[in-house]
Amino acid sequence: MQYDDYKSKYKDATKQHNIMVLVGNGFDINVLSKYRNDSIDTRYAKFYDFVKYIGYDKDNILIRKMDEAKKNGKKNWSDFEALIPEVVKDEKDCKLMNTSLVELQEKFSLFLNNVVTPQIENDLGRDFTKNNWAKRSLSAFLGDLDKKNFKKIKFYADLWHHYVFNFLFVNFNYTSLLDDYIYLDKMQFNPHIYRTVDTNFSFQANPNNYENDYDYHLEGNILFSGYVHTRVIHPHGYQNIPRSLLFGASDDRFESDSEMRKFNKDYWTQYELNYGSLFNDTKLFIIYGSSVGESDKWWWKNICKTLEKDAESKEPSELIIYSYKTKFDISSFVNKYASCESGKGKIRERIFNIVYDNSDEINFLSLRPETEEDKNREKFNFSKKSNDPAIIFDDRWENIDSEVEDYFKEIIEDEEL
């Protein structure tokens, strides 16, 4: 799999930023906490209760292992994927595990269909459109950075008009809640919004109006007119196709055994073959709602490898990690998943943590109702950072001021029609 080259498909596009967003169960949990009238969500602990209620094969070794872990007070006792390496020791265990996982696939699909009901999806779809959540997530996520991190991130320095913002969402969840959320419906998105230019999207460079060190940018929350594309993939399967639900581990011990290795996720997903070529072409990585656990370490290792490779580049790849209530341990992440000792310091410099207590505090993948402030941020700001009539942006631009103003006048005229 490779990123589509949208830059070559638009007449005026000058550059393409590929943004890979990796989304875990925290997103689904947040959505269901707001749209269900009970405490049921997609956590494994809730699934365990569901299985106990509807009944199961008493010989299922994973459920027996969960019973044991719960009785012993083990942390994350309900994470049956993490328990797989503890259960599988020999060929006999492999046969029992296969039977157990097939049963869990069927029951987990049934569980999800009971948790994520058509009514919830309809209610979500209505609110997604009403509040422009997809549009805000794609255009204003830099507003979630604090002032210190905003001044450090290089992504902000590489923005201009006619750029393509190409988002690939790697949805580790089995549900379609994220797909629904990020879908650009006709109420949020018009692919031909302007009469005189072919751009279809406005990216908010500085939603919080932070002071910055990049003199070539205009003052305030300038909107860069460009293009947007989104795509969602489910490397671990879909809830409505029970056979596609992929449960597994990522254990190096399994690699040396032809049967045991089948319980590693990357054996079936063929990560390297299907997704390995994406990383070198990714400008920005974003992790949201994920525990960044061992079962998905292939992704974390490749992100670290990309950050290390680009460390000395003028246009380095970077990573934004959203963490709920607790500060993310960047050093531990790098020490665990980066392969080169000498490059770990550079990798840490390219990682930015956004801590939030409530998703209503942020722009990205939040469920906050749209406010007047949100609407005002989408209005073009023409004020200049200096009185110099010729703003020099970089080697590509000279005396660009009049061109910028003419360009914006065309857009404003279109919006007023």
- At 220 the pLDDT is 57
Q: Which of 84, 111, 78, 48 is nearest to 239 (CA)?
A: 111
Are the C-beta atoms of residues 174 and 112 closer than 8 Å to each other?
Answer: yes
Lowest mean pLDDT among 95-109, 163-177, 200-214: 200-214
Mean pLDDT for 11-38 is 93
Amino acid occupying residue 123: D
DSSP assignment string, 218-286: PSSSPEEEEEEEEEEE-TT--TT-GGG----B--GGGGGSTTGGGGBHHHHH-HHHHHGGGGGG-SEEE
Q: Mean pLDDT of all residues in the chain? A: 84
- pTM for this prediction: 0.85
Tell how many helices (H) and how many strands (E) occur in the chain.
16, 7
pLDDT surpassing 70 at residue 403: no
% pLDDT > 90, the chain? 43
Where does the pLDDT of residue 109 fall: very low under 50, low under 70, confident under 90, or very high at 90 and above? very high
pLDDT surpassing 80 at residue 296: yes
Where does the pLDDT of residue 392 fall: very low under 50, low under 70, confident under 90, or very high at 90 and above? very low
Are the C-beta atoms of residues 204 and 143 closer than 8 Å to each other?
Answer: yes
- At 396 the pLDDT is 37
Mean pLDDT for 312-323 is 88
pLDDT surpassing 90 at residue 129: no
Are the C-beta atoms of residues 183 and 177 closer than 8 Å to each other?
Answer: no
pLDDT surpassing 80 at residue 387: no
Q: How large is the C-alpha radius of gyration of the chain? A: 23
Mean pLDDT for 271-295 is 92
Phi, psi of 232 (to 5 degrees): -120, 130
Are the C-beta atoms of residues 359 and 366 closer than 8 Å to each other?
Answer: yes
pLDDT surpassing 70 at residue 399: no
Most confident region among 2-11, 90-99, 246-255, 257-266 by mean pLDDT: 2-11
Where does the pLDDT of residue 293 fall: very low under 50, low under 70, confident under 90, or very high at 90 and above? confident
Mean pLDDT for 353-376 is 86
Q: Which of 326, 357, 293 is nearest to 24 (CA)?
A: 293
Where does the pLDDT of residue 379 fall: very low under 50, low under 70, confident under 90, or very high at 90 and above? low
Where does the pLDDT of residue 132 fall: very low under 50, low under 70, confident under 90, or very high at 90 and above? confident
CA–CA separation, 97 and 89 (whole Å): 10
Mean pLDDT for 189-217 is 77
Are the C-beta atoms of residues 137 and 363 closer than 8 Å to each other?
Answer: yes
